Amino acid sequence: MRMSLPAMESRAEVVVDVGAITRNVATLRQRAGVALMAVVKADGYGHGLVEAAAAARSGGADWLGVAVLEEAMALRRAGDTGPLLSWLAVPGEDYPGAVEAGVDVTAYTPRQVDEIAAAARSIGLRARVQLKVDTGLSRGGAGEADWPALVEAAADAEQSGAVQVTGVWSHFACSDEPDHPANDAQEKAFVQALKVVDAVGLEPEVRHLSNSAGTLLRPWSSYDLVRCGIACYGISPAPDVVSSAELGLVPAMTARARLALVKRLPAGAGVSYGHTWVAERDTTLGLVPVGYGDGVLRYGSSTAHVLAAGRQRPVAGRICMDQLVIDLGEDHAEAGDEVVLFGDGADGAPTAQDWAEACGTIAYEVVTRIGGRFVRRHVRR
């Protein structure tokens, strides 16, 4: 049995159990059997960049991964000195700063290799560069036709001493659908791309392809390193295939608030903007002081549930900017009582995955969006 969360200190708070992140990372790393990169982009998927990173390192994360350089630099400023990869940049980024901080940067084009190499020369250091091949996601990276030129440029830059090619990687489009034919096609393209790298004599430290879903559902695709994001936070990357509980993962985030008001409502009264919800019988409403201005998805209007007064209660009507209304039926509650929007599910509250299903989206969006006036607290259970 896990310890319960500490008492609420604020009107609305997001409580992040860093112990859960640590244990999830340890579970994933053991399962993968190769090195693990914990992806902490987008403020650690809403869990706190620095806190999530530290928790992941404690769980054995060999690498950290972020999207943009500002995230990488924030981790360095917070004292993280380990292997760290960033992968999304525009021309004119602070490459000298990244090189000096020992951050691995990713190149998609020969022009980017040149820019990184020039930055390294300007400060007399060697840049750590990873090459991204687009094997079919059709997002970042060099496509098949452009790959040989990127590899050549990187090999030349390594020869010149300005860069060291530390990794070669790609990213799945459909790894949450293990039977999708794109998965095998992408892996085949990845193997081809690695042959091009071999042929010019580059020997990168790490080759990597899998995100959380790949790690869990295609263990043969792990190569030297897996990049796990959502699973580190205890959420299944492929909820249609396997639940987080079945994976031995525990959701780290709980979003909760205290009731601002409880009152009776007569049958026939409409609730919230547009009166899209109408009381079928006399009932009791609870007013929860959070809304879409705090990242509570408005698509949960009349579809999502929260835990209040001992069981799950439906959101009644539209979620507003600052508040939402729940239907308490005939049960008793009082202003100040705790309402759990979502948590780890162990106490009967909905999970981020439940909210995702109610909102027609993915749990990634539920946890990443939450913020606004929620006070974020980090605890260790």
Ligand X SMILES: *Cc1c(COP(=O)(O)O)cnc(C)c1O
Task: Give least dist CB 76 to ligand X, A.
Answer: 20
**Span interacting with ligand X, options 24-32, 90-98, 147-155, 227-235, rule CB under 6 A:** 227-235
Q: Which helix (H) or strand (E) holds 20?
A: helix 18-32
Q: Does 35 interact with ligand X (rule: CB under 6 A)?
A: no
Residue 356 touches ligand X, criterion: CB under 6 A: no
Q: Rule CB under 6 A: say whether 48 interacts with ligand X.
A: no
Please identify which residue in 12, 28, 39, 247 interacts with ligand X, judged by CB under 6 A.
39
Stretch that binds ligand X, among 52-60, 115-123, 223-231, 307-315 (CB under 6 A): 223-231
Spatial separation of the C-alpha atoms in residues 279 and 265, rounded to whole Å? 8
Cβ pair 105, 115 in contact under 8 A: no
Q: How far is CA 345 from CA 126, 245, 306, 336, 376, in A?
A: 48, 10, 11, 22, 19
Does 227 help bind ligand X (rule: CB under 6 A)?
yes
The answer to whether the beta carbons of residues 211 and 171 sit under 8 Å apart is: yes
Nearest approach, Cβ of residue 351 and ligand X (Å): 16
Ramachandran bin of 364, using left for φ above 0, alpha for ψ from -120 to 50, beta for the remaining angles: alpha
Question: In whole angstroms, what is the distance from residue 231 CA to residue 4 CA?
Answer: 22
Which of positions 147-206 make contact with ligand X (CB under 6 A)?
Answer: 171
Told to check if 237 binds ligand X by CB under 6 A, we report yes
Asked if 87 is part of the footprint of ligand X (rule: CB under 6 A), the reply reads yes
Stretch of residues binding ligand X (CB under 6 A), selected from 7-15, 222-230, 286-294, 333-341: 222-230
User: Which of 348, 368, 364, 345 lies closest to 356 in space, CA to CA?
Assistant: 364
Whole-angstrom distance, CA of residue 112 vs CA of residue 92 = 10
Only one of the segments 9-17, 52-60, 230-238, 299-307 lies at the binding site for ligand X (rule: CB under 6 A); that segment is 230-238
Measured at the CA of 228, the angle between CA 170 and CA 128, to 5 degrees, comes to 55
Least distance in Å: CB of 132 to ligand X? 8
Tell me the residue type at 367: V
Instruction: Determine whether 41 is an active site residue.
Output: yes
108 noted as active-site residue: no
Binding of ligand X by 207 (CB under 6 A): no
Report if residue 61 touches ligand X, rule: CB under 6 A: no
Catalytic residues: 41, 273
Binding site for ligand X (CB under 6 A): 39, 41, 87, 171, 211-213, 227-231, 237
